[in-house]
Amino acid sequence: MDITISLPDGSQKTLPQGSTALDAAKSIGAGLARAAFAAKINGHLCDITTPLTDGATLAIVTYKDKEGPKILRHTAAHILASAVKRLYPKAILEDGPATDTGFFYDIMLPEAVSPEAFPAIEAEMEKIVAEASPLVRKELSREEALALFDGRGERFKIETIESLGEDDVISIYEMGDFVDLCRGPHLQSTEGVKAIKIMNVAGAYRKGDATREQLVRFHAVAFPDKKLLKEYLTLLEEAKKRDHRRIGQDLDLFSFQDEAPGFPFFHAKGSILYNTLLAFMREELDKRDYTEIRTPMILNKDLWLRSGHWDHYRENMYFTEIDERDFAVKPMNCPGGLLVYKNGMHSYRELPIRAAEFGMVHRHEMSGVLHGLFRVRCFTQDDAHVFCTTDQLQAEVENIIDLVLHVYNTVGFKDVAIELSTRPANSIGSDEIWELATETLKKALEHHEIKYQLNPGDGAFYGPKIDFHVKDCLGRTWQCGTIQADFSMPERFDLTYVGDDGEKHRPVMIHRAIFGSIERFLGILIEHYAGNFPLWLAPVQVRVLSLSSDLLDTAADIAAQLKAAGLRVETDVRDEKIGAKIREAEMMKIPVMLIVGKKEAAEGKVSVRRHGKGDQGALTLAEAIATLKEESASRKQ
RNA sequence: GCUGAAGUGGCUCAGUUGGCAGAGCAGCGCAUUCGUAAUGCGCAGGUCGUGGGUUCGAGUCCCACCUUCAGCUCCA
């Protein structure tokens, strides 16, 4: 008797009874069979050697599929654990999951390990790969499993088995002399893992619980071929070169001081970047009829009680006392914005009200999570609160989506991923309101014909949200913008507007940020451009280099004309050779060098050199200024 | 907050078993007046993260704290 299965392209295939997913892959093509990591049978991920049943749907999973890398990494985790067990027989294994970039394995070791031990472990892993041991799945009864791991001294595995529910299937994977409790699926054989590298070790508590045993966590990466490992290592190196903390110091953009941990200091050049970004944003807000407000940094306890922050966000807030009354430093801008709305009566004719605020917020982040500009204790949000009627919600969201995409495009992010997050478990508000809000956000996205990913249950407790992720030039993604519909705050603060019926109505509120945190966004931009900013953003746009010291006045005059044209300019008239001056300007990543020697001075010209591009030939000063002014004003990439 | 590592001129780093704190770059001065990524010579610059302790003597050994880094955790 034959069985018939359907494939992802809708076609059907007939195979002999007892065929496995691998047999199906082979019948499609030898290449696919070789590349096959696992199978998805009726949507369920399992080993490629799993037998097929009649009528099943089958998808072959390879490295290129979403699930592929994780399967390989998981198998690599078993290889790592096996190698460590061979070298340290007393090691006790905890758990070794795959992560987004690699995998780790938490292991209790009788002795400390340092990176010096990595080569030995890696050599052992290579041996295991060379042994090409098959990974064999077995399902055991609870008693069999307990006996097996007891015999191997794996007391953590025993605890894990004991914590499993009655109905859970207990499966193990054998791999040569190694065996691990594991759900799978796995590669057929260790030889599929062509490259593994241990990246570092760090301490980690069992189950992340500080009261439990301290384990060693081996972080590692794995790839199906050595070239991919090399590419990954190159990417890491490139990321390290672009580290915004390094560039921030080299280009004198910002710093951190012991006196204020987690609170960034923006230097003169960093402030230019900051202000240039804000000026651009203000220009765009003005075009879209936003108003801008400013609310205080410190507000009293009553407000935070009313907003809910006192109950839900207190651990992250800073407090102070004024005239024996409790105050808090704002961690968010919305309560202040609500007070501004509430300050007067509003007619439906005024709506929508789009109130932007570049508000500096302070949040107490734990010391261990601080990370350059990416994670700070004080930052400025490019916040805005839109108050509108339910009918206006969709148009407002569309307007914001349009703004977000335009802003990202202009600053250099062409690739933007969007997620829609819907109602979470512990939410407030009625079903109808959630339904309406979620549908409205969906419609707004569909209006833009934008592809988005749905994250069911990932919304805020007060409303659904749209999140924007930008992809930088290394392919890393960063969550920046967010649009959140909020029916809760208007309720809590009793916001109203007077409708055309003369009655009071409740407006809807939208919270929205585009950069998110300006500080963090600057960090992302610095890494994206590796400090080589486009002209419009560069802190110093032009440096005028004199060839000899008798041209000091000429250089000063050129600089004055550039400045008068609105360009940010410096001069270098030091008694140095031109090569040295060029080198320094190049290292400071200044986009344009204008070099003036006797020849140029006589003709009223400047020799133009672009950062990273070399000599561009001579132009008259007027031509050069016109070109640069246009390039800067148009925010050219 | 937890685990581990680190902290020496503005920057990058050296400093042996405890025995007079060093280099390069940057800065300043002088010479040089130079054509597209480093001109030469000289000078100055440090309470070795902070506070205790051990010692005849501490950058070095011990303790506490601060900050940073890699993770964890937390937050989304």
Does residue A33 have a pLDDT over 80?
Answer: no
* Average pLDDT rounded to a whole number, residues A457-480: 88
* Residue A104 confidence (pLDDT): 85
Say yes or no: Cβ of A414 under 7 A from any atom of strand B. Answer: no
Q: Which amino acid is at A544?
A: V
Angle between helices A431-447 and A393-411 (to 10 degrees): 50
* Average pLDDT rounded to a whole number, residues A249-254: 94
* Average pLDDT rounded to a whole number, residues A45-59: 81
Rounded to whole angstroms, the distance from the CA of residue A570 to the C1' of nucleotide B12 is 26
* Window from A237-241, A253-257, A407-411, A497-501 with minimum mean pLDDT: A237-241
Give the residue ranges of DSSP H helices in A322-428: 334-342, 393-411
In a domain, A85, yes or no: no
Please confirm, yes or no, whether A385 is among the known catalytic residues: yes
Say yes or no: Cβ of A586 under 7 A from any atom of strand B. Answer: yes
HSE value, Cβ hemisphere, 13 Å, CA-based, for A388 = 20
What is the Cα A369 distance to its own chain's centre? 15
Which of residues A529, A563, A578 is at a domain's end?
A529
* Residue A40 confidence (pLDDT): 81
Same domain, A594 and A518: no
CB A4, CB A13: distance < 8 Å: yes
Please confirm, yes or no, whether A637 is among the known catalytic residues: no
Rounded to whole angstroms, the distance from the CA of residue A304 to the C1' of nucleotide B68 is 34
Would you place residue A54 in the very low, low, confident or very high pLDDT band (cuts 50, 70, 90)? confident
Which of residues A176, A196, A231 is at a domain's end?
A231
- Proportion of chain A above pLDDT 70, given as a percent: 98
What 3-state DSSP class applies to A631?
helix
Say yes or no: Cβ of A419 under 7 A from any atom of strand B. Answer: no
Q: Which amino acid is at A343?
A: N
* Residue A112 confidence (pLDDT): 63
State the average pLDDT for chain A.
Answer: 88
> Which residue is nearest to the C1' sugar atom of B66, using CA?
A258
CA-to-CA distance for A139 and A145, rounded, in angstroms?
9
Summarize pLDDT for A324-376 with one digit per residue, the tens.
999 999 999 999 999 999 999 999 999 999 999 999 999 999 988 999 999 99
CA-to-CA distance for A340 and A343, rounded, in angstroms?
5
DSSP state of A549: G
Given A73, A242, A465, A520, which residue is catalytic?
A: A465
Same domain, A17 and A49: yes
Does residue A385 have a pLDDT over 70?
Answer: yes
* Average pLDDT rounded to a whole number, residues A294-322: 90
Same domain, A172 and A311: no
Say yes or no: Cβ of A615 under 7 A from any atom of strand B. Answer: yes
* Residue A209 confidence (pLDDT): 66
In a domain, A247, yes or no: no
Say yes or no: Cβ of A552 under 7 A from any atom of strand B. Answer: no
What 3-state DSSP class applies to A39?
strand
Closest by CA position to A576, among listed A545, A599, A618? A545
* Residue A69 confidence (pLDDT): 83
Rounded to whole angstroms, the distance from the CA of residue A596 to the C1' of nucleotide B31 is 24
Summarize pLDDT for A180-227 with one digit per residue, the tens.
888 878 888 788 888 888 887 777 777 766 667 777 788 888 888 888
Cβ-in-10-Å burial (0-12, 13-18, 19+) of A431 comes to: exposed
Summarize pLDDT for A143-191 with one digit per residue, the tens.
888 888 888 888 888 888 887 777 778 888 888 888 888 887 888 878 8
Say yes or no: Cβ of A261 under 7 A from any atom of strand B. Answer: yes
Does residue A489 have a pLDDT over 80?
Answer: yes
Chain B nucleotides reached by a protein CB under 7 Å: 1-4, 7, 11-12, 30-39, 66-76
Compute the Cα dihedral for A276, A281, A285, A288 and give only its sign: positive
Rounded to whole angstroms, the distance from the CA of residue A616 to the C1' of nucleotide B37 is 15
Given A217, A385, A512, A543, which residue is catalytic?
A: A385
Give the range of the structural domain holding residue A16, as residue numbers without chain letter.
2-61
Residue that has been written with the tokens 């400047």 in this structure: A606
Write out the two tokens for A192. 């599929």
Rounded to whole angstroms, the distance from the CA of residue A210 to the C1' of nucleotide B53 is 32
In a domain, A66, yes or no: no
Return the bridge partners of A357, or none.
Answer: A383
Say yes or no: Cβ of A210 under 7 A from any atom of strand B. Answer: yes
Say yes or no: Cβ of A259 under 7 A from any atom of strand B. Answer: no
Cβ-in-10-Å burial (0-12, 13-18, 19+) of A533 comes to: buried
CA-to-CA distance for A184 and A135, rounded, in angstroms?
10
Say yes or no: Cβ of A547 under 7 A from any atom of strand B. Answer: yes
Same domain, A470 and A517: yes
CA-to-CA distance for A230 and A227, rounded, in angstroms?
5
In the 304-323 segment of chain A, residues within 7 Å (Cβ) of strand B are 316
* Residue A208 confidence (pLDDT): 66
Say yes or no: Cβ of A425 under 7 A from any atom of strand B. Answer: no
Please confirm, yes or no, whether A243 is among the known catalytic residues: no
Residues 6 or more apart whose Cβ sits within 8 Å of residue A170: A139, A140, A141, A142, A145, A161, A164, A181
In the 343-382 segment of chain A, residues within 7 Å (Cβ) of strand B are 365-372
Would you place residue A523 in the very low, low, confident or very high pLDDT band (cuts 50, 70, 90)? very high
Same domain, A374 and A506: yes
Please confirm, yes or no, whether A363 is among the known catalytic residues: yes
Say yes or no: Cβ of A460 under 7 A from any atom of strand B. Answer: yes
* Residue A286 confidence (pLDDT): 96
In a domain, A599, yes or no: yes
Write out the two tokens for A583. 């080198």
Same domain, A414 and A521: yes
DSSP string for residues in A256-314: --TTSTT--EE-HHHHHHHHHHHHHHHHHHHHTT-EE----SEEEHHHHHHHTHHHHSG
* Residue A290 confidence (pLDDT): 96
CB A51, CB A19: distance < 8 Å: yes
Beta-strand relationship, A353-362 and A291-292:
parallel
Same domain, A273 and A313: no
- Measured CA to C1', the nucleotide nearest A367 is B1
Please confirm, yes or no, whether A458 is among the known catalytic residues: no
Closest by CA position to A212, among listed A94, A86, A58, A85? A94
Rounded to whole angstroms, the distance from the CA of residue A259 to the C1' of nucleotide B66 is 9
Which of residues A529, A564, A593 is at a domain's end?
A529
What is the Cα A406 distance to its own chain's centre? 20
What is the Cα A9 distance to its own chain's centre? 33
* Residue A506 confidence (pLDDT): 94
- Measured CA to C1', the nucleotide nearest A114 is B4
Rounded to whole angstroms, the distance from the CA of residue A376 to the C1' of nucleotide B66 is 18
Same domain, A316 and A306: yes
CA-to-CA distance for A334 and A488, rounded, in angstroms?
12
Say whether the peptide bond before residue A331 is cis (omega within 30 degrees of 0): no
CA-to-CA distance for A350 and A340, rounded, in angstroms?
14
Rounded to whole angstroms, the distance from the CA of residue A364 to the C1' of nucleotide B2 is 17
- Count of structural domains within chain A: 5
Q: In this structure, how many other beta carbons lie within 10 angstroms of the beta carbon of residue A571?
A: 20
Rounded to whole angstroms, the distance from the CA of residue A254 to the C1' of nucleotide B18 is 40
Same domain, A444 and A480: yes
The ipTM (two decimal places) reads 0.92
In the 566-585 segment of chain A, residues within 7 Å (Cβ) of strand B are 575-580, 582-583
Same domain, A399 and A482: yes
Same domain, A626 and A496: no
* Residue A219 confidence (pLDDT): 83
Say yes or no: Cβ of A204 under 7 A from any atom of strand B. Answer: yes
- Proportion of chain A above pLDDT 90, given as a percent: 50
In a domain, A312, yes or no: yes
Cβ-in-10-Å burial (0-12, 13-18, 19+) of A127 comes to: middle
DSSP state of A20: B
- Measured CA to C1', the nucleotide nearest A312 is B75
In a domain, A71, yes or no: no
CB A483, CB A465: distance < 8 Å: yes
> Which residue is nearest to the C1' sugar atom of B72, using CA?
A204
Would you place residue A114 in the very low, low, confident or very high pLDDT band (cuts 50, 70, 90)? low
Helix (H) and strand (E) counts in chain A = 20, 32
* Residue A211 confidence (pLDDT): 65
What 3-state DSSP class applies to A604?
coil
Q: CATH no. for residue A25?
A: 3.10.20.30
Given A383, A467, A472, A572, which residue is catalytic?
A: A383
In a domain, A616, yes or no: yes
What 3-state DSSP class applies to A98?
strand
* Average pLDDT rounded to a whole number, residues A588-600: 95
CB A189, CB A132: distance < 8 Å: yes
Which residue would you say has higher pLDDT here, A629 or A25?
Answer: A629
CB A20, CB A28: distance < 8 Å: no
- Measured CA to C1', the nucleotide nearest A199 is B70
Rounded to whole angstroms, the distance from the CA of residue A202 to the C1' of nucleotide B58 is 32
Please confirm, yes or no, whether A214 is among the known catalytic residues: no
Does residue A116 have a pLDDT over 70?
Answer: no
Same domain, A455 and A372: yes
What 3-state DSSP class applies to A369?
helix
Does residue A541 have a pLDDT over 70?
Answer: yes
* Average pLDDT rounded to a whole number, residues A240-257: 93
Would you place residue A556 in the very low, low, confident or very high pLDDT band (cuts 50, 70, 90)? very high
Q: CATH no. for residue A437?
A: 3.30.930.10
CA-to-CA distance for A77 and A247, rounded, in angstroms?
35
Write out the two tokens for A50. 């799993």
In a domain, A200, yes or no: yes
Say yes or no: Cβ of A469 under 7 A from any atom of strand B. Answer: no
CA distances to A108, A142, A161, A170, A171 from A164, in Å: 22, 9, 5, 8, 12
Rounded to whole angstroms, the distance from the CA of residue A62 to the C1' of nucleotide B4 is 37
Please confirm, yes or no, whether A334 is among the known catalytic residues: yes
CB A544, CB A555: distance < 8 Å: yes
What 3-state DSSP class applies to A615?
strand
Q: CATH no. for residue A576?
A: 3.40.50.800
CB A486, CB A387: distance < 8 Å: no
CB A181, CB A77: distance < 8 Å: no
